[in-house]
Structure 1
Amino acid sequence: MKTSFVSNLAVQNAMRLTIQQQQAEMLNLQKELTTGRHADVGLTLGATTSRSLNLQRELARMNSLTSTNSIVNQRLSASQEALETMASAAQKVRDTLVTFKGNDSADKLAIQKTEIDSALSLFTSAANTSFNGEFLFSGINSDVKPLADYNSAATSTAKAAFNTALSTYMAAQVPPLTSMDQFSVAQMQDFITTVVEPMYTGAQWDANWSDASNQNMTSRISTSEVVESSTNVNTTGVRMFALASVIASELMDKGVTSEVRNAIGEAAIDYVEQGITGIDAERSKLGVAEARVKKANDSLAAQIKLVTTHIGDIEGIDEEAASTRINLLKTQLETSYTLTSRIQQLSLLNFL
């Protein structure tokens, strides 16, 4: 019979290694219980790991779209509020023109001019609304204030251009017009339609009024949908409102005859009606974009739920089994600690 000797140090080291392994396993199990997925997905899933990674990338992409859609929604909502203010300003100009129609009193004409100038300033302020550091109505030129303030100074570019156009037209008549009361109805109508209107429908609009781009901002709201998420001040509605406000403010309180004043008022009402129609069209267009974003978000939410469930099926753990295993490891560790403590107390000195 052969006797083998095992030192208590060797037993201690073996026990210490066992304890370290059990502690590492317990940490992984606790991590799995917290996250609901395997601690080492690659080790557990093996060849099917690529499928899990593809689903994770798809989930991240959809979550990113949801986040950007939130910003798009906020931009569209802010644009709608600004357009509502602009529409109210246009309604105010129309109501003022209708209310004071046929009046030649200097006091009433002064009130009318004040009301129209106030509405124009309100309109301009709303058109220059910014959100998150970007101007809403600048198109893709979102870092530039889109619309000039006509009444900001007597020397504003738009005002100077109008005054030059008026004086040039008067001087070109045969015989030249030396005062506003010399305008005939036909001449005033000709001045408005052939001189002033092209200043608002043509290239002079960009030179005198607008720094906005005609190209609106676009946003991807789903894997297959892209929408225009902004508008700009180069639309017909804005141009026609500005035209109506300017001719009403600049001409109606001048010393023109009643017939000429009525012709100016009729033209201004017609232009402001076109402006209101154009602004409402932009509101409708942005409303359609809002509806599309909402539908895209609903679809993304359903897809995210489906993909999340699928990932859970692949990477998920059996929480009950993990809890049971943790309790078993705790018991084994406590036993190991007890044995280790007893082994450390073994000494020949205790038996001498």
Structure 2
Amino acid sequence: MNITSIGDLERGMTLRTRATDIKTQIETLSYEMSTGRVQDVSGRLGGDYSQILDLDRSLARLDAFGIATSEAALFTDTMQLSLKTLGDSVGDMTASLLAYGTANQPVNHEQASQQAKNELDTMISALNTRVGGRSLFSGTATDVSPLQSSNDLLTALKSQLTGLATVADIRLAAENWFNDPAGFDAVIYQGSNSTLSPMQISENEGVTLPITATDPAFKAALRDVAVAALATDSALALSPDQRTALFTKLGVELANAQDATVKLRAKVGAAEARIEEAATRNSSARTSLEFSRNELIAADPYETAAKLQTVQFQLESLYSVTVRNANLSLVNFLR
């Protein structure tokens, strides 16, 4: 009978090789337990990466749309807040003018003009709002504020109204100047006549907000408040009765301008809703794609845990055998 044996050196090498192999298995299984994904992706996919690469491209597109929808949401939310601020000023001014118009007293007229100057500052500041370094109401010229200061506006408008004798003439001159392309648009407005391009929020959907500071609703509100601010200016030389009549008429017209502002807020609100819906759809699509991707390379946690326990036991057994072999000697055998 032939007896095959191996030497101590070869036995040691065999045990070390086996230990290394088991340790490698433990590292692999530990990685799969911690990440939930197989380490050998190529083996799982059979070398065909086309499906997972397509999923990765789709996820990358959704990431881009996620950033776009976040920016669009910030833009529209800030625009909505600006419109609310402007609308509140118009509402307060409307109520005040109608109230002051019934009181034919110079002190009340002065209060009305002073309030109009303050509200004009607020309205222009609201239209000059920026978000992320971009002006909201400047069209494509997002690097500049759309409107000059309220003082510049009052100075320019005052030159058009000085010397006019009647309330009707003053209102007509103010309306003509605000509607004239060489008037308000050229002197006070600093933005672009081109509106912003649609904000892309999904593969086939964009949101357009073609609102600039030259919108008729804004110009009507700014016009009436600016005229109210100048009503008590000595350059116009209006009598108390004329001021009362002017304030009353301006209050009625501002109520109409407020309605127009509400319609603009509704338009922005509709855009906000579309952006939110697109963000929700994109999020759902991303969840679905991530699930599909994980299914391709996911490691079964129960199977992995069982394998890990098995190889750990194998390593412990190997160490026990190694220790016993190390303690073998002829002296111990002869005893």
TM-score relative to the length of structure 1: 0.82
2:183 counterpart (204, 207, 216): 204
Q: Distance in 1 between matches of 2:22 and 2:313?
A: 11
Q: Provide the secondary structure at the position in 2 that maps to 1:226.
A: strand
Match of 1:131 in 2: 131
What RMSD in Å do the two structures reach over aligned CA positions? 2.8
Match of 1:177 in 2: none
Shift of 1:347: 6.6
Q: Provide the secondary structure at the position in 2 that maps to 1:232.
A: coil
1:239 counterpart (191, 212, 219): 219
Q: How many residues align structurally? A: 330
Shift of 1:345: 4.8
1:121-270 residue pairs with structure 2 within 5 A? 121-151=121-151, 156=152, 158-167=153-162, 170=163, 183=165, 185=166, 188-193=167-172, 195-201=173-179, 202-214=181-193, 215-216=195-196, 218-228=198-208, 231-252=211-232, 254=234, 255-257=237-239, 260-261=242-243, 264-265=246-247, 268-269=250-251
Residues 154 and 230 of structure 2 are in contact (CA less than 8 Å); yes or no, is this contact kept in structure 1?
no
Match of 1:285 in 2: 267
Q: Distance in 2 between matches of 1:23 and 1:229?
A: 61
Asked if 1:31 corresponds to 2:11, the answer is: no
Task: Rate the CA distance shift 1:236–1:40 in 2: closer, same or farther, 3 A.
Answer: farther
Shift of 1:72: 2.4
One-letter amino acid matched to 1:114: Q
Shift of 1:286: 0.8
Q: Provide the secondary structure at the position in 2 that maps to 1:221.
A: strand
Match of 1:174 in 2: none
Q: Provide the secondary structure at the position in 1 that maps to 2:190.
A: coil
Q: Distance in 2 between matches of 1:304 and 1:310?
A: 10
Residues 141 and 213 of structure 1 are in contact (CA less than 8 Å); yes or no, is this contact kept in structure 2?
yes
1:278-305 CA distances to partner (integer Å, 9 max, x unpaired)? 3212211111111111221232233223
1:276 counterpart (250, 258, 266): 258
One-letter amino acid matched to 1:303: A
Asked if 1:84 corresponds to 2:84, the answer is: yes
Q: Distance in 2 between matches of 1:348 and 1:67?
A: 75
1:159-196 CA distances to partner (integer Å, 9 max, x unpaired)? 332233335xx4xxxxxxxxx6xx1x3xx534532x43
Task: Rate the CA distance shift 1:33–1:229 in 2: closer, same or farther, 3 A.
Answer: farther
* Unpaired runs of at least 5, structure 2: none
Identity percentage of aligned residues: 23
One-letter amino acid matched to 2:124: T
Match of 2:318 in 1: 336
* Unpaired runs of at least 5, structure 1: 171-179
Shift of 1:102: 4.8
Shift of 1:101: 1.6
Match of 1:175 in 2: none
Q: Distance in 2 between matches of 1:230 and 1:8?
A: 86
Shift of 1:349: 8.8
Residues 33 and 319 of structure 1 are in contact (CA less than 8 Å); yes or no, is this contact kept in structure 2?
yes
Task: Rate the CA distance shift 1:191–1:116 in 2: closer, same or farther, 3 A.
Answer: closer
Asked if 1:324 corresponds to 2:306, the answer is: yes
**Range with greater deviation from structure 2 (337-346 or 324-333):** 337-346
One-letter amino acid matched to 1:329: V
**Range with greater deviation from structure 2 (38-47 or 282-291):** 38-47
Q: Provide the secondary structure at the position in 1 that maps to 2:207.
A: strand
Residues 52 and 311 of structure 1 are in contact (CA less than 8 Å); yes or no, is this contact kept in structure 2?
yes
Match of 1:173 in 2: none
TM-score relative to the length of structure 2: 0.86
1:315 counterpart (294, 297, 316): 297
Residues 189 and 263 of structure 1 are in contact (CA less than 8 Å); yes or no, is this contact kept in structure 2?
no
Task: Rate the CA distance shift 1:132–1:346 in 2: closer, same or farther, 3 A.
Answer: farther
